[in-house]
Amino acid sequence: MKFTIQVNEGPYQHQATDSAYLFTKAALEKGHEIFRVFFYHDGVNNGTRLTTPPQDDRNIVKRWGELSAGHDLGLVICGAAAQRRGIVDDGEAERNGKDATNIAEGFRISGLGQLVEGAIQSDRLVVFGD
């Protein structure tokens, strides 16, 4: 079965992204397809490579990236939500004259249409949020 996952909250503040990650991992292990993970609202903050969690805690950002690399999983950050919150890739930096980027490995910034397309193309949309 094909799933799209929506993540509405950032890392560490709320459990939503942890639940979404563990669900996504379990679905992949069962042989399901994750069409896309879409990060919206403060969920876009899952995609900054500049986090430095303590050694004895999980690295939420890196963990998503590793799952993505291992399963060819699309991690899509909403562009409009990312602009508000300062998640920047090369394209955004150029368009908006920013002097730095912070997007993490495995993530990409795209439009809200990617969420809607995910809902159309997938058998299920599962939302994790506050």
Partner 1 sequence: MLHIVNKSPYDRNSLDTAVSYKADGDIFLLIEDGVYAAMKSGAAASKLDGCSVSVLGADIAARGIAEDKLIDGVSVIDYAGFVDLVEANEKVQSWL
Partner 2 sequence: MSEIKKFMYVNRRAPYGTIYAWESLEVVLIGAAFEQDVSMAFIDDGVYQLIKGQDTTGLEMKNFSPTYAALGDYEVTKIYIEKESLEERGLTLDDLQHLTWEDEDEDWAEKDSIQLISRAEMVKVFADQDVFFNF
Footprint on this chain of partner 1 (rule: CB under 8 A): 1, 3, 8, 15-16, 19, 22-23, 25-27, 29-30, 32, 124-130
Selected binder of partner 2 within 22, 50, 69, 116 (CB under 8 A): 116
Q: With contact defined as beta carbons under 8 Å apart, do 6 and 116 qualify?
A: no
119 lies in the site for partner 2, by CB under 8 A: yes
Note whether 93 binds partner 2 by CB under 8 A.
no
Which residues does 16 contact at the CB level (< 8 Å), separation at least 6? 7, 8, 9, 43, 128, 129, 130
Compute how many other C-beta atoms are within 10 angstroms of the C-beta atom of residue 17.
Answer: 27
- Using the rule CB under 8 A, is 127 a contact of partner 2? yes
> Which of partner 1, partner 2, none is residue 1 near (CB under 5 to 8 Å by kind)?
partner 1
Residue 99 binding target from partner 2, partner 1, none, CB below 5 to 8 Å by type: none
Among 75, 17, 67, CA closest to 43: 17
Q: Would you call 90 a catalytic residue per the annotation? A: no
Of 24, 11, 20, the residue nearest 71 (C-alpha): 24
d(CA 21, CA 15): 10
- Based on CB atoms, which residue is closest to partner 1, 45 or 109? 45
Using rule CB under 8 A, residue 33 touches partner 2 = no
> Is position 28 an interface residue for partner 2 (rule: CB under 8 A)?
no
Q: Which residues are known to be catalytic?
A: 78
